[in-house]
Structure 1
């Protein structure tokens, strides 16, 4: 059984909210591959655009409406971006967290 996607965000009151997504539709894998293609083809021009696209993708993987790109921007410690967001994207794509190709983007 695949491991669920998990994300903990801090809300404006300082409360930790843990989100868990058990099922990820195959459509999300296709979207992840499209995002990877956009990076590889140079269609994403700036680092800000790249981070924004990744946050929007991750937010779209969760059914809970409280998980949005904005709630991730506000609720995730910036130092956890790679360990949390990149790992969720890798998980959706079926890649191991330590896959060297994932580390390039």
Structure 2
């Protein structure tokens, strides 16, 4: 499950290292195709996403409807979770705009 807090912490560490070394950090596949998780990944410091063509519109709509601060706050909340379900729940509390978009 890409919402596992340990995985999110690892992504955060890699993104921080990428930022320190001026190296882009990208995520592709299922994780980048989930609009809420894509927002969390950006909040963790990921600089590029590659997602399934069928999800591009939803992901784009999600990330353009949110501020970076909202995405960062969602990411930081997810990092505090003890399991994947809790990470998703905590993140979604900061991503309430997505519900109004049907995402």
Q: Same fold (TM over 0.5)?
A: no
TM-score by length of 2: 0.37
TM-score by length of 1: 0.37
Larger Rg: 1
